[in-house]
């Protein structure tokens, strides 16, 4: 499959892809008020605490160069940070909810050793403690796994569009499942209501008035991804790094904020150009950029990119995205699916990669930009560009993945193993 297969049939506007240049983006040094909320020191602390958890890989996730795709895109370098192998959970969310749970427990029990919480050292003391969250799948799975290992109870609220397959993947960790009608935002409201009625603790990745500590902890956990990239590329503080452009998934904005904050603090004015990508029907971040404040999506929110199907921007994440992200962009579902297939196919020079529905947003957006010279020029992408995308998830719903890609994730994984061996 070629890049042209990912291109919209008409103009980007006709096919709903949209690019918005953020007029509030800045390249000043990382502001002190933002550093007081999220910083590299705290990200490193998160990484140390999580390193003892059996639920996560000991080594850094791979950073793959895909020279074949780079050639098709007409750029110097295209790289993928593959979070699908972060843990058996299958996504980057293994870095967020677990560290937020650890930090919340430490706030309640300052004498507990944070590195031992997920080892079950304090399970007896935590057996009556209950955490709850709404999820599209991956966040809830991460929280359920962490709660099980810590020894506390977990309740997960799922909305109508979450598949039974994703529900089962959460329930296997012992979480109590609550099903509701409506969409993700409705499930967030129900989780908040249940927490209030029962005295449970909400562990959410989106913030709202009076609720910022835990979403901050979730976002800070994602700094591990950025730190590994810095190590893997030999980046130096205050200098331009290996990549000129970094594509980040949208959603409520937490993952993007976690990585933007780290790279911005580390590289300062030499930070890369950041482009945040989200589904056209879940465009809350793009609308926030247009309106200059946290805003809601204008579409149905229902998207095959389940992890990005969020209707409302995290207020806390927006504090980082508003000054730190250069462009906001939307893509449609079909573009994401075609990007999944392209990464799965690989080539004699590109390793096959299992990338889930939300994991391919960067490649889908990049492909749209390269088919429209005016858009590419606006973003500053040319033959010298070095582009990074984050594959945020693998086949977290294996049957959905196989239906969309036409091959099973196990088949792709076997081909990847053969590629490594050749």
Of 81-90, 102-111, 179-188, least confident by mean pLDDT is 179-188
Quick one: 87 and 127 in the same domain?
no
Of the candidates 366, 368, 364, 365, the residue with the CA atom closest to the CA atom of residue 385: 366
Quick one: 266 and 183 in the same domain?
no
Mean pLDDT for the stretch of residues 342-358: 96
Domain region containing 346: 3-91+217-421
Q: What is the pLDDT of residues 5-50, one digit of tens each?
A: 444 433 333 346 899 999 999 999 999 999 999 999 999 999 999 9
Quick one: 373 and 241 in the same domain?
yes
Is residue 69 pLDDT above 60, yes or no? yes
The whole-chain average pLDDT of the chain stands at 92
Mean pLDDT for the stretch of residues 99-116: 96
Query: Which is higher by pLDDT, 299 or 274?
Result: 274
Residue 411, C-beta contacts closer than 8 angstroms, at least 6 positions apart: none
Q: How many helices (H) and strands (E) does the chain have?
A: 19, 11
Widest Cα–Cα separation across the chain: 61
Quick one: 266 and 128 in the same domain?
no
Among candidate residues 204, 229, 257, the one where a domain is terminated: 204
Quick one: 184 and 248 in the same domain?
no
As a whole number of angstroms, the distance between CA 325 and CA 295 comes to: 16
Quick one: 311 and 278 in the same domain?
yes
pLDDT recorded at residue 62:
97
Quick one: 136 and 166 in the same domain?
yes
What pLDDT band is residue 116 in, cutting at 50, 70 and 90? very high
Is residue 284 pLDDT above 70, yes or no? yes
CATH number of the domain to which 112 belongs: 3.40.50.1100
Burial class (CB in 10 A: 0-12, 13-18, 19+), 175: buried
Mind telling me the catalytic residues?
A: 93, 136
As a whole number of angstroms, the distance between CA 184 and CA 11 comes to: 30
Quick one: 304 and 357 in the same domain?
yes
Mean pLDDT for the stretch of residues 269-278: 98
Structural domain total, the chain: 2
């Amino acid at each position: 499959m070629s890049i042209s297969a990912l291109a919209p049939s008409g103009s980007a506007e006709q096919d709903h892809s949209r690019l918005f240049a953020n007029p509030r983006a800045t390249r000043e040094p990382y502001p002190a008020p933002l550093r007081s909320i999220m910083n590299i020191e705290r990200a490193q602390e998160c990484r140390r605490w999580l390193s003892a958890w059996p639920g996560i890989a000991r080594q850094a996730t791979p950073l793959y160069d895909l020279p074949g795709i780079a050639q098709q895109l007409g750029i110097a370098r295209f790289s993928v940070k593959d979070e699908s192998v972060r843990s058996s959970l299958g996504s980057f969310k293994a870095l967020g909810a677990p560290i937020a749970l650890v930090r919340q427990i430490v706030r309640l029990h300052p004498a507990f050793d944070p590195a031992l919480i997920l080892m079950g050292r304090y399970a007896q003391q935590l057996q009556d403690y209950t955490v709850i969250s709404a999820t599209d799948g991956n966040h809830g799975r991460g929280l359920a796994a962490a709660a099980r290992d810590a020894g506390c109870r977990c309740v997960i609220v799922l909305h109508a569009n979450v598949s039974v397959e994703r529900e089962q993947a959460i329930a296997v960790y012992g979480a109590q499942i609550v099903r509701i009608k409506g969409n993700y935002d409705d499930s967030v409201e129900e989780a908040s209501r249940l927490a209030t009625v029962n005295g449970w603790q909400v562990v959410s990745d989106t913030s709202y008035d009076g609720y910022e500590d835990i979403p901050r902890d979730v976002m800070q956990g994602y700094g591990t991804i950025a730190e590994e990239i810095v190590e893997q590329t030999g980046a130096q503080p205050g200098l331009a790094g290996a990549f000129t452009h970094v594509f980040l998934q949208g959603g409520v904005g937490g993952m993007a904020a976690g990585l933007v904050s780290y790279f911005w603090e580390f590289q300062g004015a030499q930070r890369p150009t950041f482009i945040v990508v989200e589904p056209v029907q879940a465009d809350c971040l793009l609308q926030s950029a247009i309106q200059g404040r946290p805003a809601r999506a204008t579409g149905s929110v229902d998207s095959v990119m389940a992890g990005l199907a969020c209707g409302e921007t995290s207020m806390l994440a927006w504090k980082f995205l508003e000054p730190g992200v250069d462009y906001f962009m939307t893509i449609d579902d079909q573009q994401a699916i075609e990007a999944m297939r392209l990464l799965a196919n690989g080539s004699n020079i590109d390793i096959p990669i299992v990338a889930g529905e939300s994991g391919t947003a960067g490649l889908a957006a990049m492909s749209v930009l390269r088919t429209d010279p005016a858009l590419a020029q606006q973003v500053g992408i040319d033959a010298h560009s070095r582009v990074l995308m984050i594959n945020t998830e693998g086949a977290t719903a294996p049957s959905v993945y196989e239906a969309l890609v036409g091959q099973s994730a196990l088949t792709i994984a076997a081909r990847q193993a053969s590629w490594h061996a050749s």
